[in-house]
Amino acid sequence: MNSMQGELIPATDANTNLGDYETARHSFQWEEVEQQFSWHRTGFINLAYEAIDRHVEEGRGDKTALIYCDAEREETYTFAELQSWSARFSNVLRKHGVTKGDRVFVFMPRSPELYISILGAIKAGAVVGPLFEAFMETAVKDRLEDSGASVLVTTPALLKRVKREELPELRAIFVVGATAEEAEAEGAGVYPFEQEVVSASADNAIEWVELEDGLILHYTSGSTGKPKGVYHVHNAMIQHYYTGKVVLDLKEDDIYWCTADPGWVTGTSYGIFAPWLNGVCNLILGGRFDPGAWYSAIEKYKVTVWYSAPTAFRMLMGAGEEAAGKYDLSSLRHVLSVGEPLNPEVVRWGLAVYKRRIHDTWWMTETGGQLICNYPSMAIKPGSMGKPLPGIEAAILDDQGNVLPPNRMGNLAVRTPWPSMMRTIWNNEMKYEEYFRIPGWYVSGDSAYQDEDGYFWFQGRIDDVINSSGERIGPFEVESKLVEHPAVAEAGVIGKPDAVRGEIIKAFVALRDGYEPTEQLKAEISRFVKEGLSAHAAPREIEFKDKLPKTRSGKIMRRVLKAWELDLPTGDLSTIED
């Protein structure tokens, strides 16, 4: 287990916000972090105010807050401009009856309007629900229905995927890029975003809330059931701010780039909240992954802090050293990764090609913010997720809740509470409670071990959740879609190890009588999932089987499918049906 533990990449930057890790850890107090917020003095709470308006009121209104760039647009917004646009959208929402706690969803590709919508909704006191643009009809409907969303912001193209007739609670839809006539042609309750925002007032736009009032609802997958709505509150800003300071190591003049979409928690906690709470310039790059476009953005905007994911780094590695060599990447000061295990070879490659350490960070949608990290002031052991954030106690527990000694694999758990911890699973208190089945601890569902030096090492998921390119995919959701296809009698879905994506989705399918197991049918079934759910949920591999292994109670035994796939022993089969 400890074959990798010996390698150590020392810290090179002496001037970091955290300073010495052990010293920071021992003197740490969340109360001191709270002192940094204006609500601490005034009692007026709203995350969007702290992230945007406060900087304007403290004289930083002319500073660039957002640089947005894609193939068609390149725009910059100061803090004052973001303050004004988000205030206007907040007032639009209020005019349409949105009050504290209402769910306002955003379903569109990255654009300045997306960020303005999110900030505006938070200012209005709404709970924001961000959806990936890749979601198709079923995925969109499930989330809007479960959350009882009353408002949606979307684009003309994506509006086609919203089954309005099945969503009675959805009262108002704002369409970005639609004229008044186009919106009107869509029927009652559809409004042109730009026109509404331009004609709204920017005054008195903030709904003051309590720290425990709702902020954001991120849907994520588990191994059973539909996606769950992970509910976060304004109090999370304490952790967003602090981790932005000591993990992202943000400083006043930084140009920060987080590559994640807000449909994913990284794209909100660290693509919106952490940088702006720290008053830093945030670069948002629209469009798809492209090594040239990415490197060129770093060069052009002189990105200093860069937060991305292992799959992206592996793809950049695949593009080769020459691709990186064409650009001046010397502005980079600090590089970070999240979402999947960061392979040691990627860390070594980063060191050789970018001349920078890549700092792995571990956390989850449910944790709301980073918990176990590599800090710029600390030596990195490539392959390790690092050490707990100051203020956080993490441990490896056995199934009874005993803390295990170093180098023993078990449940990765975190002592409760911490500021950005989820507060519930929407409509599903029982699911929420499952995370806290060991009193005093949040049980992550990941397995890991801790070495003698206190570094944590990720080992895998304990459940069947699939992690493909950092996207968390619930096998159940994919299986449910598969069996809706007329040819599919039964389906079992697993993650199959993949060198670039971490895992890919592989489906085992038993066909109904009368269907021929052809390559064409495989392609058709995969397309069916892609068009019904989303591209990232579609199986890249399908294998036909006459029958799938099931328990006597009828549950597909994914672990047996996995064992077949990987040529491993199938383990205990005592519960399998004949």
Cβ at position 296, least distance to ligand PRX in Å: 26
Q: Could you tell me how many residues of this chain bind ligand PRX (CB under 6 A)?
A: 21
Cβ at position 194, least distance to ligand PRX in Å: 32
Q: Return d(Cα 160, Cα 355) in angstroms, integer.
A: 46
Q: Which residues contact 404 (CB under 8 A, 6 or more apart)?
A: 395, 396, 397, 398, 410, 449
Which of 261/340 has CB closer to ligand PRX?
Answer: 340
User: Any idea which residue has 């399908």 for tokens?
Assistant: 542
Q: Lay out the site mask for ligand PRX across 42-81 (x = CB under 6 A, - = otherwise).
A: ----------------------------------------
Cβ at position 458, least distance to ligand PRX in Å: 4
Cβ at position 159, least distance to ligand PRX in Å: 27
Which of 234/472 has CB closer to ligand PRX?
Answer: 472
Cβ at position 218, least distance to ligand PRX in Å: 8
Which of 362, 375, 441, 508 touches ligand PRX by CB under 6 A?
362
Closest to 12 (Cα-Cα) out of 245, 389, 335: 335
Cβ at position 229, least distance to ligand PRX in Å: 13
Cβ at position 393, least distance to ligand PRX in Å: 18
User: Any idea which residue has 């995370």 for tokens?
Assistant: 435
Cβ at position 491, least distance to ligand PRX in Å: 23
Q: Return d(Cα 428, Cα 229) in angstroms, integer.
A: 9
Which of 90, 467, 526, 534 touches ligand PRX by CB under 6 A?
467
Q: Lay out the site mask for ligand PRX across 436-455 (x = CB under 6 A, - = otherwise).
A: --------xxx---------
- Interior/surface letters 239-253, b for 16+ CB within 10 angstroms, e for the rest: bbbbbbbbbbbbbee
- Interior/surface letters 134-167, b for 16+ CB within 10 angstroms, e for the rest: bbbebbbbbbbbbbebbbbbbbeebbebbebeeb
Which of 363, 375, 435, 544 touches ligand PRX by CB under 6 A?
363
Cβ at position 242, least distance to ligand PRX in Å: 16
| CA 237 distance to own-chain centroid | 16
Which of 151/236 has CB closer to ligand PRX?
Answer: 236
Residue 31 has φ and ψ, to the nearest 5°, of -60, -35
Which of 174/456 has CB closer to ligand PRX?
Answer: 456
Q: Return d(Cα 124, Cα 209) in angstroms, integer.
A: 9
Q: Return d(Cα 468, Cα 471) in angstroms, integer.
A: 5
What is the DSSP track for 216-252? EEEEE--SSSS-EEEEEEGGGHHHHHHHHHHTS---T
* Residue 495 binds ligand PRX, judged by CB under 6 A: no
Name the residue with the smallest CB distance to ligand PRX. 365
Cβ at position 290, least distance to ligand PRX in Å: 22
Closest to 25 (Cα-Cα) out of 393, 361, 337: 393
* Residue 341 binds ligand PRX, judged by CB under 6 A: yes
Please tell me the chain's helix, strand, coil percentages from 3-state DSSP, rounded to the nearest 5: 35, 25, 40
Q: Which residues contact 481 (CB under 8 A, 6 or more apart)?
A: 138, 528, 529, 532, 533, 537
| Residue 247 CB-half CA count within 13 A | 31
Cβ at position 476, least distance to ligand PRX in Å: 16
Which of 362/508 has CB closer to ligand PRX?
Answer: 362
Which of 124, 329, 364, 380 touches ligand PRX by CB under 6 A?
364
Which of 213, 360, 490, 503 touches ligand PRX by CB under 6 A?
360
Q: Return d(Cα 474, Cα 465) in angstroms, integer.
A: 5
Cβ at position 498, least distance to ligand PRX in Å: 15
Which of 90/259 has CB closer to ligand PRX?
Answer: 259
Which of 56, 265, 335, 494 touches ligand PRX by CB under 6 A?
265
Longest distance between any two alpha carbons in the chain, whole Å: 73
Asked if 285 contacts 73 with a C-beta cutoff of 8 angstroms, the reply is no
Residue 22 has φ and ψ, to the nearest 5°, of -65, -40
Q: Distance of CA 40 to CAs 220, 299, 421, Å?
A: 32, 39, 20
Cβ at position 364, least distance to ligand PRX in Å: 4
Which of 446/464 has CB closer to ligand PRX?
Answer: 446
Please state, as a whole number, how many other Cβ atoms lie within 10 Å of the Cβ of residue 52.
29
Which of 127/371 has CB closer to ligand PRX?
Answer: 371
Q: Mark the segment that binds ligand PRX (CB under 6 A) among 139-147, 185-193, 299-307, 355-363.
A: 355-363
Q: Lay out the site mask for ligand PRX across 186-225 (x = CB under 6 A, - = otherwise).
A: ----------------------------------x-----
* Residue 472 binds ligand PRX, judged by CB under 6 A: yes
Asked if 188 contacts 163 with a C-beta cutoff of 8 angstroms, the reply is no
Which of 105/363 has CB closer to ligand PRX?
Answer: 363
Type of residue found at 212: E
Query: Which stretches of the chain bind ligand PRX, using CB under 6 A?
Result: 220, 265-266, 338-341, 360-365, 385, 444-446, 458, 461, 467, 472
